[in-house]
């Protein structure tokens, strides 16, 4: 990852901000849950319908999660070679720019829970994941074009209950989506790694 491993200048964190899509919070050494998805995982018509519904933001997010979990689009990450690229990308700066707490690579999206290391902006972390993995996936035969949707969803972890509920949500996502019977059977998540450690 030499292109993404170059010396960086530490920049101040942004606090609340947006990039024209979703609001983000970048506040330093926080625990954050991040979701990013493939460019074709959420058809625009379904997104607009969910966005227009007069429901709470939490309900809207849950509806969108259900739509994405249905496995729409090309599901490039269903191919083990591509999922392995994303897994290696997430693990590369673990302990350097962030501490990776829980993660899962689904067929068309990724969930990661990290503790940012101060001086490393959340947007820069997610950009490096998406940029490197997209380049590596597009270098494989039969893949080209946009890999990731332009933005990502993040939520900082508020308390211990939220912390454990988020880990459970991330690691149980393959079960909830009907891909496996138990979380330990999904090879592209933090669960098998934890099982190996005992």
pLDDT of residue 178: 92
116: its two tokens: 């940012």
Residue 67: pLDDT band (50, 70, 90) is: confident
> Of the ranges 10-19, 145-154, 156-165, which one carries the lowest mean pLDDT score?
10-19
Judged by average pLDDT, the poorest of 39-53, 78-92, 100-114 is 39-53
Cβ 63 vs Cβ 55: under 8 Å: yes
**Range 31-41 burial, b when 16+ CB lie within 10 A, else e:** bbbbbbbbbbb
Pair 105, 66: CB distance under 8 Å: no
* Tokens (6 digits) for 106: 């689904």
Instruction: Using the predicted structure, report yes or no on whether residue 12 has a pLDDT greater than 80.
Output: no
The answer, yes or no, to whether residue 3 has pLDDT greater than 50, is no
How high is the pLDDT of residue 48?
Answer: 76
Q: Domain spanning 2-197: which superfamily?
A: Transposase IS200-like (3.30.70.1290)
- Across residues 96-104, what is the average pLDDT? 96
pLDDT digits (tens, 9 = 90+) for 108-124: 999 999 999 988 989 99
- Which residue's structure tokens are 């959420």? 42
Whole-angstrom distance, CA of residue 5 vs CA of residue 12: 19
Contacts 24+ apart (CB under 8 A), 138-142: 140/81, 140/82
Confidence band, pLDDT 50/70/90 cuts, at residue 77: very high
Per-domain boundaries in the chain: 2-197
- Mean of the per-residue pLDDT values of the chain: 84
More confident residue, 69 or 8: 69
| pLDDT value for 193 | 64
DSSP 8-state assignment for residue 145:
S
């Amino acid at each position: 990852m030499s292109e993404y491993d170059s010396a960086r200048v530490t920049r101040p964190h942004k606090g609340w901000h947006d990039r024209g899509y979703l609001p983000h919070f970048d506040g330093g050494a926080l625990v954050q849950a991040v979701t990013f998805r493939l460019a074709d995982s959420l058809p625009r018509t379904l997104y607009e319908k969910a966005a227009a519904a007069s429901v709470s933001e939490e309900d809207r997010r849950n509806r969108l999660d259900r739509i994405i979990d249905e496995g729409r689009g090309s599901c490039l990450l269903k191919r083990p070679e591509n999922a392995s690229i994303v897994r290696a990308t997430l693990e590369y700066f673990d302990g350097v720019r962030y501490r990776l707490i829980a993660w899962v690579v689904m067929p068309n999206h990724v969930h990661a829970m990290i503790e940012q290391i101060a001086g490393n902006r959340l947007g820069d972390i997610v950009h490096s994941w998406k940029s490197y993995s997209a380049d590596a996936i597009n270098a494989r035969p039969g893949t080209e074009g946009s890999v990731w949707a332009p933005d990502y969803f993040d939520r900082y972890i508020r308390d211990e209950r939220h912390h454990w509920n988020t880990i459970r949500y991330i690691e149980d996502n393959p079960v909830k989506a009907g891909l496996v019977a138990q979380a330990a059977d999904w090879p592209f998540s933090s669960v098998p790694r934890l099982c190996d450690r005992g």
